[in-house]
Amino acid sequence: MTIPYLTSQPTSSTDAASGLHIGGDWTLAHYSRLEPQVLALRGRLQGEPRVDLGGLAALDTAGAALLVELLGSERLRQLAQQQALSSERRALLLAVADAMAGSQQAQEHATPSALREVLGHIGEAVETTWCHARELLGFMGLTLVSMLVILVRPMRWRLTSLAAHLEQCGLNAVPIVALLTFLVGAVVAFLGATILADFGASIYTVNLVAFSFLREFGVLLTAILMAGRTASAFTAQIGSMKANEEIDAIRTLGLSPIELLVLPRVFAMLIALPILTFIAMLSGMLGGGVVCAVALDIPVTMYLSILQDSDLLQHFLVGLLKAPIFAFLIALIGCREGFKVSGSAQSVGEHTTSAVVQSIFVVILLDALAALFLMEMGW
């Protein structure tokens, strides 16, 4: 084993290192000894010093990397071609110099400005949103075609699966929907009474609760609950089947996964969500009625009389007509994310989260657009 060395021989007082003599074993075993010398000498190199590599004994990639740091990729490439080195050392030096030159260029390109990073993230978000919207439209078309095909063939209806999903996403969701909307109705009535009391108009709290729940809160809260509860369940169920290759088995048997897995869930949501919306409307107005009776001394008979005198049919129809649209989109997003699951449990969790986020976003976006449109139309 030859001790490595790195010496400089100044030729004048103005040239601190005009000549470099490199020799010995430049290997990983001597890396810790050579690295401080390389770092110290690299900062004092000026111009194009004369370098002698003739004393090199053993050489590996660690030593070659130190030489690249000391001399630079281009300079070391020239020296390897010019000096009398063995073919093995020359090939190693050239390979390491090329590799480190490529990594340095990649690092230079990987540090864009902050503005470019922000614009890049915005572009990626827009592209991702567009891809999701396009995939959703394609899946929606496929589902509608399958739906139209089986509607005219009653023998292909899967009533057992439909009943099971109705129980899961409809009947089992009644307690949580009723409780949540009852509490929200009580809160809306209490806050409305607190503000309206300053104007001597506490009696209009009844109209506030009825208007808000029939038109917006009933369907919106129910849809958000179903997005978090049912869309995630659809994604997890279909995703687990996808991970276990059960969907591939269904296709192998000549059956349609859309007809077998998607349509029963879509039909169940189309039936369950309007019914749950109606229950939510009643529960919200009941919560507001309890607050009016306890805090505002408005008896139940007066509360019902005010509701009867108000023109609430239009608001009720507006709220109820939103429910099938929200139900169709929630079921569609949940099923589509389930089909996108790969073969891991992590993928199931990621797509379940994505289904909930997308469903809630779509519901709130469509509700806001519908509210603006109906307000402009005077409906």
Question: Is residue 282 situated within a structural domain?
Answer: yes
Q: Residue 270 has what pLDDT?
A: 93
Residue whose token pair is 């104007």: 199
At 94, list the tokens: 């050239």
Q: Are residues 291 and 169 in the same domain?
A: yes
| Residue 302 lies in domain | 156-377
Are the C-beta atoms of 186 and 295 separated by less than 8 Å?
A: no
Q: Are residues 11 and 103 in the same domain?
A: yes
Of 189, 171, 174, nearest to 285 (Cα)?
A: 189
Q: Are residues 48 and 103 in the same domain?
A: yes
Task: Point out the least confidently predicted range of 19-33, 98-112, 140-154, 290-304.
Answer: 98-112
Give how many domains the chain has, as a whole number. Answer: 2
d(CA 74, CA 105): 13
Q: Are residues 95 and 175 in the same domain?
A: no
Domain boundary among 71, 92, 109: 109
Question: Is residue 144 situated within a structural domain?
Answer: no
Domain boundary among 75, 91, 109: 109
Q: Are residues 199 and 53 in the same domain?
A: no
Question: Is residue 292 situated within a structural domain?
Answer: yes
Residue whose token pair is 């409906």: 379
Q: Are residues 190 and 104 in the same domain?
A: no
Q: Are residues 239 and 325 in the same domain?
A: yes
> How sure is the predictor about 322, in pLDDT bands with cuts at 50, 70 and 90?
very high
Q: Are residues 243 and 364 in the same domain?
A: yes
**In the chain, pLDDT over 90 holds for what percent of residues?**
25
Q: Using CA atoms of 204, 205, 210, 215 in order, give the dihedral in degrees to the nearest 10.
A: 90
Q: Are residues 266 and 179 in the same domain?
A: yes
Domain boundary among 109, 144, 167: 109
Task: Point out the least confidently predicted range of 115-119, 159-163, 208-212.
Answer: 115-119
Q: If you average pLDDT over residues 330-353, what whole number do you get? A: 87
DSSP per residue, 218-247: HHHHHHHHHIIIIIHHHHHHHHHHHHTTHH
Q: If you average pLDDT over residues 235-261, what whole number do you get? A: 88
State the amino acid at position 348 in one-letter form.
Answer: V
Measured in degrees and rounded to the nearest 5, phi and psi for residue 314 equal -65, -45
Q: Are residues 95 and 33 in the same domain?
A: yes
Q: Are residues 81 and 174 in the same domain?
A: no
Q: Residue 205 has what pLDDT?
A: 87
Q: Residue 221 has what pLDDT?
A: 93
Question: Is residue 136 situated within a structural domain?
Answer: no
d(CA 50, CA 19): 5
Task: Answer whether residue 235 shows pLDDT above 60.
Answer: yes
Question: Is residue 149 situated within a structural domain?
Answer: no
At 161, list the tokens: 């699966």
Give the Cβ contact number of residue 72 at 10 Å.
Answer: 17
Of 268, 298, 300, 256, nearest to 149 (Cα)?
A: 256
Question: Is residue 151 situated within a structural domain?
Answer: no
Taking only the tens place, the pLDDT of each residue in 71-123 is 777 777 777 777 777 777 778 888 887 887 766 554 545 556 778 888 888 98
Q: Are residues 66 and 169 in the same domain?
A: no
Question: Is residue 356 situated within a structural domain?
Answer: yes
Question: Is residue 190 situated within a structural domain?
Answer: yes
Average pLDDT, the chain: 83
Task: Answer whether residue 155 shows pLDDT above 90.
Answer: no
